[in-house]
């Protein structure tokens, strides 16, 4: 047997394996799945603030906006149909991620990515050509199905391909692509809003076809992960794939762990039923609470509604879109901080630091807006300096999210489930995420109207709760091999009692986890 396995400082096994060009390229291509999600998150806010778009599909919102110049700043753009347009996608993604669980497990990760890309492509075409609200919403539902498949499969793919020591970094490629998608969408909106003929929104919506083609073609080129190959009975292929991605033949130990995980997985016939077993409780709890908390940071208030929000606090149309571009840039660049640090300082440190930073900013932004508009919402537009200050703190808040809850909200749930229920677990993660993205999308305008500046305190309160939760309940998962995660739970002060000794089938003698 190969002798390259050592015990790491954190107590887990370290497999031989380095960053090979092959693993980098496969992860790079797979990450592009994040583009479709990001493009989508970024495009609707700008489109729904374009006059030509509102006039064509939502004339009542348009007229209300034009006539009501003197009404309450907090309650300007409230239209249920308009928010339904934005958030219909997330409901579709929620349902689709459950179907994707089966495709991902039975046919492999790559076919889910491919299916996601193709469905998204059709949705983009329908949206670009839309003549009615029906076509708009139908297009968005197809986009949502695409996102459901991609978000279910891409994070799993990345976490399985990556060597444990680089898993955080490679997985965060997905979040990086999300932020690039959002930024691209913001820039495109900025340009298309200026198109005189009033058809700029068609370009914005139709260009979603580009990232769709990228991921669909990319998925065709990708190999499947060794974990999935073994799970589907292709042991030999899995072995050579493992050597190829690790850049060494010294993969026996890791291969043995994959086989052990796969054998365990064969005993599970109904992942959806088994996931309720006690030993999976820690991972299940995280797969529900992490995406829930991620959305309760309030990030999508900024992502969807930045132009609307900036308009509300007194920016002109153009300045509002420009500010959205600024937050988009901050979001993207700050993601690199997590790429560079996640496998060194670990997941917990980023969560705790990022959470604290977001909390402080939320209190400051809420207070600044409260001072200006009070509870009546009627007040002069913000002065330039005051408004820049609000934008600055919003940017620092976005940066905190971009190196903590943003990437880790996708990384952590994708790396904590054992193989037999990984696909089901990831669907839960995606669907909870989409459900609360939907709720926030749907409720934001009403919440802003009711809670006023207190909306920022509301999300700040949640950030406090989630930061304490992470501090107490999330074990560190950096460098822990994905098929050995059970050992990290076993060692945890609270979750340890959920894992009996019989539940541990990996980790052999070389590991000191759980000793
Ligand atoms: C979240 C999205 C959010 C985005 C912002 C993602 O991780 O899931 O809801 O809009 O980050 O970058």
The alpha carbon of residue 476 and the mean position of all alpha carbons in its chain are separated, in whole angstroms, by: 20
> CB of 182 closer than 6 A to ligand 1?
yes
Domains, in order of start, for the chain: 21-224+268-500 (1.20.1250.20)
Higher local confidence (pLDDT), 73 or 467: 467
> CB of 289 closer than 6 A to ligand 1?
no
- pLDDT score recorded for residue 106: 86
- pLDDT score recorded for residue 77: 60
Distance separating alpha carbons of residues 426 and 406, to the nearest angstrom: 16
Whether pLDDT at 143 is above 60: yes
- pLDDT score recorded for residue 281: 96
Whether pLDDT at 7 is above 80: no
**Rounded mean pLDDT, 327-340:** 96
Mean pLDDT, the chain, whole residue set: 87
> CB of 155 closer than 6 A to ligand 1?
no
- pLDDT score recorded for residue 73: 64
Ligand 1 atom 7, closest CA: 406
Ligand 1 atom 4, closest CA: 406
> CB of 290 closer than 6 A to ligand 1?
no
Whether pLDDT at 364 is above 60: yes
Closest by CA position to 364, among listed 385, 340, 323, 394: 394
- pLDDT score recorded for residue 345: 97
3-class SS of residue 371: helix
Beta bridge partners, 13, equal 7
- pLDDT score recorded for residue 313: 66
Whether pLDDT at 255 is above 70: yes
- pLDDT tens by residue, 273-302: 889 999 999 999 999 999 999 999 999 988
328-331 LR contacts (CB < 8 Å, sep 24+): 328/42, 328/179, 328/182, 328/183, 328/186, 328/187, 329/183, 330/395, 330/398, 330/399, 330/402, 331/179, 331/182, 331/183, 331/303, 331/398, 331/399, 331/401, 331/402, 331/406
Percent of the chain past pLDDT 70, that is, above it, reads: 90
Closest by CA position to 381, among listed 319, 294, 292, 444: 319
> 403 CA to middle of ligand 1, Å?
11
Whether pLDDT at 101 is above 60: yes
Ligand 1 atom 11, closest CA: 406
- pLDDT tens by residue, 451-463: 878 899 999 999 9
Ligand 1 site-directed mutation target among 34, 184, 303, most atoms within 8 Å of CB? 303
466 backbone dihedrals φ, ψ, rounded to 5°: -70, -30
**Rounded mean pLDDT, 459-487:** 95
> 299 CA to middle of ligand 1, Å?
7
> CB of 300 closer than 6 A to ligand 1?
yes
Tell me the whole-structure pTM to 2 decimals: 0.90
CB–CB of 32/154 below 8 Å? no
CB–CB of 436/90 below 8 Å? no
- pLDDT score recorded for residue 173: 97
Percent of the chain past pLDDT 90, that is, above it, reads: 56
Nearest atom in ligand 1 to the alpha carbon of residue 335 is 12
Distance separating alpha carbons of residues 16 and 13, to the nearest angstrom: 10
Ligand 1 atom 6, closest CA: 406
**Rounded mean pLDDT, 470-498:** 94
| Most confident region among 323-332, 391-400, 504-513 by mean pLDDT | 391-400
For the beta carbon of residue 147, count every other beta carbon within 10 angstroms: 32
Distance separating alpha carbons of residues 214 and 413, to the nearest angstrom: 25
Nearest atom in ligand 1 to the alpha carbon of residue 41 is 10
> CB of 171 closer than 6 A to ligand 1?
no
Q: Give burial (CB, 10 Å; 0-12/13-18/19+) of 21.
A: exposed
Whether pLDDT at 310 is above 80: no
For residue 66, what pLDDT band results from cuts at 50, 70 and 90? confident
CB–CB of 480/319 below 8 Å? no
Ligand 1 atom 10, closest CA: 300
Whether pLDDT at 508 is above 90: no
Distance separating alpha carbons of residues 115 and 360, to the nearest angstrom: 41
């Amino acid at each position: 047997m190969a002798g390259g396995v050592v015990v790491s400082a954190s107590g887990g096994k370290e497999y031989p394996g380095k960053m090979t060009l092959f693993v980098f390229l496969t992860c790079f291509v797979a990450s592009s799945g994040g583009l479709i999600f990001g493009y989508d998150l970024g495009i609707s806010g700008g489109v729904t603030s374009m006059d030509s778009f509102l006039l064509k599909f939502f004339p009542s919102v348009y007229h209300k906006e034009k006539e009501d110049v003197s009404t309450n700043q907090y309650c300007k753009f409230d239209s249920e149909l308009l928010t339904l347009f934005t958030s219909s996608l997330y409901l579709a993604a929620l349902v689709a991620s459950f179907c994707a669980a089966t495709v991902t497990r039975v046919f492999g990760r790559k076919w889910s990515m491919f299916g996601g890309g193709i469905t998204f492509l059709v949705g983009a075409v329908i949206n670009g050509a839309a003549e009615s609200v029906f076509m708009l919403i139908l297009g968005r539902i197809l986009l949502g199905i695409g996102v459901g498949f991609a978000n279910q499969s891409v994070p799993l793919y990345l976490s399985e391909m990556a060597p444990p020591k680089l898993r955080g970094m490679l997985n965060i490629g997905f979040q990086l692509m999300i932020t690039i998608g959002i930024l691209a969408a913001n820039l495109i909106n900025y340009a298309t809003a200026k198109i005189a003929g009033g058809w700029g929104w068609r370009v914005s919506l139709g260009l979603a076809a580009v990232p769709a083609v990228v991921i669909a073609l990319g998925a065709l080129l990708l190999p499947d992960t060794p974990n999935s190959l073994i799970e589907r009975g292709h042991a030999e292929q899995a072995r050579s794939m493992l050597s190829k991605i690790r850049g060494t033949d010294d993969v026996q130990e890791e291969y043995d762990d994959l086989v052990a995980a796969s054998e365990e997985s064969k005993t599970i016939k109904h992942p959806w039923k088994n996931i309720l077993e006690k030993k999976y409780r820690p991972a299940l709890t995280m797969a529900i609470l992490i995406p829930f908390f991620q959305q309760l940071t309030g990030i999508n208030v900024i992502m969807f509604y930045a132009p609307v929000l900036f308009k509300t606090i007194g920016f002109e149309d153009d300045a509002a879109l420009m500010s959205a571009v600024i937050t988009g840039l901050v979001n993207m660049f700050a993601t690199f901080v997590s790429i560079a640090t996640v496998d060194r300082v670990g997941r917990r440190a980023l969560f705790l630091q990022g959470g604290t930073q977001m909390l402080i900013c939320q209190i400051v932004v809420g207070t600044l807006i409260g001072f200006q508009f009070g509870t009546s919402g009627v007040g002069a537009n913000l002065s330039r300096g005051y408004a820049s200050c609000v934008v600055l703190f919003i940017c620092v808040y976005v940066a905190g999210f971009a190196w903590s809850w943003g990437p880790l909200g996708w990384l952590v749930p994708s790396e904590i489930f054992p193989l037999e229920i990984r696909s089901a677990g990831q669907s839960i993660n995606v669907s909870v995420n989409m459900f609360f993205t939907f709720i926030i999308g749907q409720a934001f305008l009403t919440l802003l109207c009711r809670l006023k500046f207190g909306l920022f305190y509301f999300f700040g309160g949640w950030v406090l709760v989630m930061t304490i939760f992470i501090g107490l309940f999330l074990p560190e998962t950096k460098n822990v091999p994905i098929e050995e995660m059970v050992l990290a739970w076993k060692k945890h002060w609270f979750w340890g009692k959920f894992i009996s000794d019989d539940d541990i089938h990996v980790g052999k003698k070389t590991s000191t986890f759980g000793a």
